[in-house]
Structures are given as structure tokens and as C-alpha cells.
Amino acid sequence: MPKNSNSDELLEKVLRPGSSFYYSTLHFNHQQRTLHAILFALFQEWMSLYDNSREPQVANTALHWWLQQIDHFSKCTTSDEPHPLLDRLAPLHKTTTLKTLICERMKSIVVTLIQNQHEHDTTESLNTFLKHTWGNLCVMSGLIPLDGNVSSEKLFDEKLANEQITEQASSARKSINRSEHSIKDQETHLAIQQQAGLLIGYYTLVKQLAGQLNAQRSPLPLAWLKAWEVTPTSLVSALQTTPKKASDSAQAIASKKIKTLLLTKIKSLLEQESITLESLLTQQTHYDLSCLTSLKVIRFESALLDLTIQQGFQIFDYRLQISPLKKFWLAWRCKYHYQKRRFRKIIANA
């Protein structure tokens, strides 16, 4: 990929002095910060490419460029005995070349980090980030059961993860043997799993963002973080119901249940903290919200987040030459009942 590529620009943006990422990694040395940035940027790039993979060749070219950069800082060492955790997280299904390449490369990175942990000055913060990133990719890529009981923080606890996975598999078999599920119920269950997987991944990202902005005492990220305390276990358990209307699609049913659960939680938090839409828009803090640009989750209704993963408008776009903060303000100004062309018009005239 050319030197002046979008990937280079993204990495430079993440590493530039003054960014929220830069301040969150001041205690890292140069090698740790660079590896941290590459993995962070890789996740953003992967989200963007996976969501917009209409041109597979372009996506694969960009991905290979990122993998070369990662290889530069993560030289794999030979080992006859692979880490047992990796066998447990073997891909359950491989649907796209892009997904497979990323998962295989992330496995290689994790192997390297585990093997070289005693050789390098790896901080606890870096370890935590890598666990969250790896867990995020595992969930988003379908490498672990999407039932919400195995959180990214516990992925590296082999004994606990093994017990939970075994228990979940046994419970699932008993459930199947105990009752007969219609095709509609199976589709709904699958849709719920997919939605929950995306939400758990988004939860990890929002949690990281809230941590970065905690020093600024911003009420919005903190409200998000508190709202996500309902996930992942409570979220999935709240979705395990049979659809009432046969005409509703499985995806729509899952989206509606998730939206209702989150809106209720966030509304309560906003009322408790006396946070209003106007107070959020008048804050003069400069947020680095670039990590949200590739997620199709943004629609707003009054001061409440209307999170609809599959049906949301993707109003954040790398092609738009607007600062992340201004995009964020525009999103709050746009009501959910606007048509997609209305979103485009508002942003184009910004």
C-alpha cells in the first residue's frame, strides 16, 4: 500500500501528541505505544472494512498492509506446543476471507505476546488492552459463544472459561432436547446472538472510551459506561423470549428488545444525573471520538441514545471532512424520524 495511505493517516492521527489515545499511553515506552496504536487502529480499520466491504480486493489489500505493520513489532517465536486457549477459541465458522485472515493473525499476535511476556517490559495496562481487544475480536468474529456469559476480561482465565463453555454447551443440549423450537424461534435466537455479540463488542469500545475521557469528567461517556452495566448477562437473559408476532422479522425483534432495555437504563441515568441534551451540546471539551466513526449505531431521540445496530444510519464517515466532535453534535441534532437523505443534507451543509 502506498506510503500516504489512509491507514498511515489513521495511525498518525491516533499517535499524534494531544490525542486522547496519546495521553492514555504516556506511561508506555515507544515500542509498547506503537504496538498499542497499531492494534487499536487495526480494530478500527477492520470495523470500517468489514462494514464497507463492497470491494473485497481493496479491503484485503488494506488488511495485508496492516498485518505487515503488526509483524514488524510482533515477531512470532517458534513453539511446538500452542497455547491451549487458542485451541478452545478455534473458529466455529469461517464465512469470509477477510474475517478469517484477521482472526488467524490475531491468534498469532496473542501467541507471541504470551510467549514473550517475560522477555519484555509489558505493563498491566497493555495486557488489559490486549485482552479486551482480543476478546472483542473473538466475540465479533464468532470465535466464542455469543451468550454473554464469557466476558472479554475473563477470556484468559482458562479454567473458568472452560467450565463456563462446558456448562453452556450442556445447558443448550438439554434445552434442545426438552422442547421443540420452530424455525422462527431458531432464527430469532440466532439474531439475538448476533446482536448481543455486536453489543458486547461495542460495550468494550465504549468502556475504553469512557476510561480515556474520565479525567475530563465528562457526563456522557460516564453515563454510557453505567448504562452498559446491564451487559452482557442481563442483556441476553432479557432477550430470551418467544416473539409474539409471527410477521416480525427475527432481526427486528432482537433490535427492539435491545433498544428498549438500553433506552430505559440510559433514561434513568440521565434523569438521576440531571443531564440534558442542551447541557451536552454546550460543553466545550474536544472529544476524540474517531473510534466511533465506523460503527453503525448512531441515531438519537431527544436526549436518549437509540441504538439499533443493524438498522442505524451510518452518519459517521471517513470521507466527510468534519471534526469528530462536530459530527457528534450533528448526530444529536438529527432526530430519528429524518430520512437518510436528510442526514446527508444536514452533514453536507455543515
User: What residue segments make up the domains of the chain, in order of their start?
Assistant: 1-179
Provide mean pLDDT across the span 160-186.
Answer: 41
Give CA–CA dist 136/123, Å, rounded: 20
Residue whose C-alpha is closest to residue 99's, from 137, 129, 67, 135: 137
Helix/strand/coil (H, E, C) string of 133-191?
HHHHHHHHHCCCCCCCCCCHHHCCCHHHHHHHHHHHHHHHHHHHHHCCCCHHHHHHHHH
- Asked if 1 and 7 touch (Cβ cutoff 8 Å), the reply is yes
Residue 349: the pLDDT is 52
- pTM beyond 0.85, yes or no: no
pLDDT reading at 256 higher than 50? yes
Give CA–CA dist 266/224, Å, rounded: 7
Each residue of 187-200: pLDDT tens digit?
444 444 443 343 44
pLDDT reading at 97 higher than 50? no
The residue ranking higher by pLDDT, 203 or 94, is 203
Question: Cα 349 to the chain's mean position, in Å?
Answer: 30
Provide mean pLDDT across the span 107-134.
Answer: 42
Residue 348: the pLDDT is 52
Each residue of 198-220: pLDDT tens digit?
344 444 443 443 344 343 343 33
